[in-house]
Chain A
């Protein structure tokens, strides 16, 4: 069945995006992406499992990081070699940084090592919740944008912080759904909805706290541009299958967003027509 034609003939209303009938790429950081699922590379049981997940999910963006290197552990770069061979866009992070200054330096080191001007900016303000520091994040973003970086800024769902990141000129704003690694799913959907409504022209990517595919679908339905997942895939019983499940859920959520979900109601409303109901008013 031709879904595009079915859609057009079923309703005179024009869909506000044409996901069914034409490609729906995401433009971010100077590139065009067909996949709206970004995948973290940590916590997999083996490099081969990560490779299988990347392949199954057809992801185009992989996050990576930098850590101190001891001379005797240079053979540990096997993971890096494997990731590089995958040929995907690399999004290095500044995980573990606690100040704008640290994050800027790590970003500069990442640009040299990974050969990309993309940086996933993380400035942590609280070690227990791993909640980002909005002041440090905005300050670092301003400097990094001036230095030519495409900044993907990890933040909370706070609207004003997101507005300031937009004003700083970041490539993408990446609010959390819940704290990193919790898998709790969106804890504040109204806040995420507000971000989407108030930042209609910004690239918004939900990062952190996604635990299951339905969480990803949920935020994509809100109109988020992409989702970044790591632990939910890496720690699944079958990471390869879960990676594929996330891709499907992201696609479903995107399609649902473009299909304009119905408005919810407080009371029941019969979906079957009421006219001609058998035994209507005959009593019993």
Chain B
């Protein structure tokens, strides 16, 4: 039976990654990164809704609908 809660789980969350809307079934930021194909062993840093989330907290960062996630990595710069 599809309760509203089940519907939400089955259709996933709508969030944004680097400005792109995505649907995800991941519950945490760490899971989302894996789901989207990021290699967490690489040099990455994340922010959620413009707030920095340290790498040590990725697994505890529970995703909420509509959140804007930034995933950045090193580039050259002046």
Contacts and interface: CB of A to CB of B under 8 A. Distances in A.
Interface of A: 40-44, 50, 63-72, 74, 77, 79-80, 83, 92-93, 95, 101-102, 105-106, 108-110, 112-114, 180, 228, 230-231
Given A66-B72, A67-B72, A109 B45 contact: yes
B45 A79 contact: no
A68 B44 contact: no
Nearest to A120: B77
Given A74-B42, A80-B43, A64 B73 contact: no
A67 B78 contact: no
Contacts of B72: 66-69, 106, 109, 113
Interface in B51-70: 51-52, 54-55, 70
Contacts, number: 101
Nearest to B47: A105
A102 B52 CA distance: 10
B47 A83 contact: no
A71 B37 contact: yes
A80 to B, nearest CB: 4
A77 B76 contact: no
Contacts of A42: 76-78
A65 B74 contact: yes
Interface in B31-52: 36-39, 42-47, 50-52
Contacts of B74: 64-66, 77, 79-80, 83, 113-114
Contacts of A101: 50
A109 B77 contact: no
A230 B77 CA distance: 8
A80 B78 contact: no
Contacts of A83: 74, 76
11 contacts: A40-B78, A42-B77, A42-B78, A65-B74, A74-B38, A74-B73, A77-B42, A93-B78, A106-B72, A109-B47, A112-B54
Contact of A71 (B19, B36, B45): B36
A273 to B, nearest CB: 50
B75 A74 contact: no
Nearest to B36: A71
Contacts of B54: 112
